[in-house]
Structure 1
Amino acid sequence: MQTPALIPTPARRLSTQYDVNPKETTFKDLLQEMLKMQEKIEKKIEESQEKTQQNMERLFQKEMGKLRHELKEDVAQIKKEVSNVQDELKILKKENSSLKKVQDKTEAKLKKLEEAKEKLEKQQELWASKETDYQLRFRNIEEKEGENLREIIMEITTRMTNITPEEMNKEIDMTQRINSSYAKRNNVPRDILVSFCRKNVRDEINRMKAKDQPSYNGKKVIILKEFTSTSMNKRKNYYFLTDVLKKHKIKFRWERLEGIQVTYRESKFWLTSEEKARDFYRRLQKDLNLTSDTADVTELSKANHDSTRTKHKDEEGKKRDKKRPRPEPLDEEEGKKDMGPSNTGKQPPDDK
C-alpha cells in the first residue's frame, strides 16, 4: 500500500505584537549578560576583599600575638635584671653600711690615737722642759785633751756661790761637751751642758751670773739657760714680736711650753699663740706708731713657721731612749735673741 505524500502547509505568521527584532534581542542579552558578569565580578571582588581582610586580620593578630609574646619575654627579662640589680644594690648598701661602720670605728680609733699621741707629745715635751729646768749651758770655755769637765764647772760655780767644792760636787749630776752648728761655724770651743741635782742650785747660779760675770783662764764664761729643741722651734714663730719688744725695751719672758708673757703699761699679757702675738703686734704698731719696714707680720710669722716645720717634724719622730737625752744645741741666732750675746760678757735680764 502506498503512503500518501505529505503536503506542506504554509507557516503560520506570528502576530505583530509578538514580532521581535533579532538585533534588539541580541543587544539586550548582551547587556543582561554584562550586568550579570559585573555583578559576579563585584561579588567575587567583595568576597576577595573579605577574604583578604580576614587574612590580614588573622595575620595581624598572629603578628601581634608574637609581638606580645616577645614583649612579655623582654619585660620578664627586664624585671629579672631589675630584680638582680636591686638585690645587688641591697648587698652593696649592706656592704657600704658595714664599711661605713668600720670607717667610723676606725676614725674614732684614729681620733683617740691622735689625742693620745698629742697628749703623749705634750707630756714628753713637759718632761723634757722640766729636765731643762735643772740644766745650764756654759760657753767660751777652752777645750783641752783629757780635761775634767766636772772640776772645771765646780771651780767656776763655787766662786759664784757660797757652796763648797764638796757640796757642789754632789749637786752636779752630769757634765758633757755638746756639738753645735754655732761652734762649727765660728770655730769656737763646744758648749758644756751641766745638769744639776737640785733646781734651786741651778737657779742660784743663773741669778748670780748677772751680778758677777764668771771667768775661766782669763776668759769670760757665758752661762745660758737650756731649752728643748721643740720650744726653741716654737719660739722662732714669735721673733717678729720679741725683736720689737727688745728694741723698745718692753719686758717679756718666755713661757715654759709656748708663748711669752709681756709686761706693757703696768699690765701683763699672756700671748700663748701666734694669733695673739700678731694681735698684740698690731696694737704696738698703733701705740708706738711703728712703720712696717719689713714684711707684713702675718707673712713674717708664716715664713718663720715654714722654715722650722721640717726640722720640727723630724725631731718629733725621735724616741727618747736615754734617761737624760742630749738636748739640741742652740744656734747663734737663738743665743742672741733668747739668752743674750754669745761672745761678750754682757748678759740680758732674765725676763728678756
Structure 2
Amino acid sequence: MAALRKGKTEKEKEKDKDKELEKRTTLNARKGSLPEEPTTKDLMKELLKIQAEIKTIQNNQEAQTKASKSETEAMKKDMKDMKEELQSLQSLVKEEMTTVKNDVGKLKQDNIDLIKDNTTIKNHQEMVRKKVKSFEELIDKVQSQQEMMEIREKETQLRFRNVIEEEEDNIREVIVDMIAQLTKKKRTDAETEVDRVFRIQTTHSRKFKTPKDIIVQLTKKNTRDEILREHSKSPLQYKGNRIVILKQIPISVLERRRNYNFLTDELKRRNLRFKWEKREGLVTTWNENKYWLTSEAKARAFWDKYLKKKNENKQGYEEEGRGKCTPHHNDYADSVTKRLNLLEEEDNEKGRKRPREISPGNYTFQKETTKIDIDHLDKKSDNDDKKN
C-alpha cells in the first residue's frame, strides 16, 4: 500500500510537471517577451505598459470623438447657415414671383386695354373713312355741278383771237361790227345779242407775243352757234389779220379730252366726223352707225376693233370705213407716242396730274374695262351715261 501511495505521488508529480509545462507554453505563446519564468515585477511592468497603451488609446479615442464632435458641430452650423440662405432665397424668389405675377397681370390688363383702344380706333377710322367717302362723293357731286354750271355759262361765250390792240379802242364796237358782218344782221340787233366784252392775258399771247384774247359773252347760245357756223364758211379778217374764233370750254373738260387724242387724230386723218360730248367722250359715225364713246375704255375698244391696223404691207393699208389711209400704222403710232410724251412733259412743268397716256399699239385696260363689246356702244346702251 505504501508502494502504491508512492507511485501515485510520482504520477501526480509527473502530472503537475506536465501542467506547469503547459502553463509555461501558454504563457510563452501569449507573451513571447516574458521570460520563461516571469517575475511579479515583470508582470507589473507589463501591466503598466498595457495600462499606458490603453490610456493612449483612450486619449486617441477621446481626441477623435472631440474632433468628430467639432466636425459635426461645424457641419450642423453649415447646415443651419445653408438653411437660412435657402429660406432667404425662397423668400426672395417668392417676392420676385409675386412681382412677376403682378407685372403679368398688369400686362394682360394693358393688353386688354390696348385691344379695346384698337377696336375703338378701328371703329373711329371706319366712321372717318365713311365720312371721307361721303365727303368725296359730295365733293365730286359739287364739282360735277360746278362743272355743268361752268359749261352752261361758257355755252354763250366765244374767244376772239388775233384782234389787234389799239390805244383807246372800243373793243365792244369792234366785236359788234364783226358779229353783224358775220350774221348779216343790223348793228343794233347784233349789239343786243352781246352782253359783255373784255380782254384777257393768256399763255398763248405771252408765248407767241400776240394780242390779248377777247372774251365775248352773248345772250343766246343760238347766236354763238350761228357765229361759229358762218365763220367756218367765210373767216373774218380784221386789219389784215385772220381772226380765230374759239369756243369757251372748261379746263377740266379740256384735260379729259386730251385722253382721246389718239382717237381724234386718227379720225381726223381718215376724214371721219366726230362731235365732243359736253363733259366727256365723243360721238362718231362708222359704217353709217353712230357710236357714243363716253369713256376712255370705250374709245380704246373702238380703236382696237375698227381703227387698229389689221393687214400690214409695204404700201400701208386701206381704210375700213370710208376714204383711204396712206400713212403707215407704225409711223402714226410713233407720232402719237411723241405727242403723249410732250403732253406729259407739259403736265410735269405745270404740276398737273393725269393718267399716263399709252400708245395705241401697246396699251392695257383696267380691271373694270378689260372686256368691252364694241357692238353695244350705240345710243341705247349709253343713255345712262348721257343722263349722268
Normalised to the residue count of structure 1, the TM-score between the two structures is 0.69
2:106 counterpart of 1:67: no
Where does residue 256 of structure 1 map in the other structure?
Answer: 278
Where does residue 205 of structure 2 map in the other structure?
Answer: 183
Structure with max Cα Rg: 2
State how far apart, in whole Å, the 2-side matches of 1:42 and 1:136 are.
Answer: 131
| 2:215 paired residue among 190, 193, 202 | 193
State how far apart, in whole Å, the 1-side matches of 2:241 and 2:49 are.
Answer: 163
State how far apart, in whole Å, the 1-side matches of 2:74 and 2:269 are.
Answer: 115
CA contact (8 A) 1:240 1:300 kept: no
Where does residue 55 of structure 1 map in the other structure?
Answer: 77
Where does residue 252 of structure 2 map in the other structure?
Answer: 230
Report the residue type matching 1:122 in the other structure.
Answer: S
| 1:121 paired residue among 128, 134, 143 | 143
2:246 counterpart of 1:207: no
Name the % identity.
30
CA-CA distance at 1:128 after TM superposition: 0.9
State how far apart, in whole Å, the 2-side matches of 1:302 and 1:184 are.
Answer: 23
CA contact (8 A) 1:136 1:224 kept: yes
Secondary structure, counterpart of 2:283 in structure 1:
strand
State how far apart, in whole Å, the 2-side matches of 1:182 and 1:200 are.
Answer: 28
CA-CA distance at 1:60 after TM superposition: 1.6
2:329 counterpart of 1:290: yes
Where does residue 157 of structure 1 map in the other structure?
Answer: 179
CA-CA distance at 1:90 after TM superposition: 4.5
Report the residue type matching 1:228 in the other structure.
Answer: P
Q: Deviations 1:308-346 (Å, cap 9, x if unpaired)?
A: 3674769xxxxxxxxxxxxxxxxxxxxxxxxxxxxxxxx
- Go from structure 1 to structure 2 and tell me whether the alpha carbon gap of 1:65 and 1:302 turns closer, same or farther (over 3 Å shift): farther
Secondary structure, counterpart of 2:232 in structure 1:
helix
State how far apart, in whole Å, the 2-side matches of 1:107 and 1:306 are.
Answer: 35
Q: Which has the bigger relative contact order, CA under 8 A and spacing at least 6?
A: 1
- Go from structure 1 to structure 2 and tell me whether the alpha carbon gap of 1:188 and 1:59 turns closer, same or farther (over 3 Å shift): closer
Where does residue 107 of structure 1 map in the other structure?
Answer: 129
Normalised to the residue count of structure 2, the TM-score between the two structures is 0.64
Secondary structure, counterpart of 2:285 in structure 1:
strand
- Once the two structures are superposed, the pairs formed by residues 1-352 of structure 1 within 5 Å of their partners are 21-161=43-183, 163-216=185-238, 219-278=241-300, 280-281=302-303, 284-287=307-310, 290-292=329-331, 301=340, 304-305=343-344, 307-308=346-347, 311=350
State how far apart, in whole Å, the 2-side matches of 1:52 and 1:86 are.
Answer: 50
State how far apart, in whole Å, the 2-side matches of 1:64 and 1:257 are.
Answer: 89
Let me know the Cα RMSD of the aligned residues.
3.6
Q: Unpaired runs of 5+ in structure 1?
A: 1-15, 315-352
Q: Deviations 1:287-326 (Å, cap 9, x if unpaired)?
A: 4561156659679647635633674769xxxxxxxxxxxx
- Go from structure 1 to structure 2 and tell me whether the alpha carbon gap of 1:126 and 1:278 turns closer, same or farther (over 3 Å shift): same
Q: Unpaired runs of 5+ in structure 2?
A: 1-36, 311-316, 318-327, 354-388
CA contact (8 A) 1:134 1:197 kept: yes
- Go from structure 1 to structure 2 and tell me whether the alpha carbon gap of 1:230 and 1:311 turns closer, same or farther (over 3 Å shift): farther
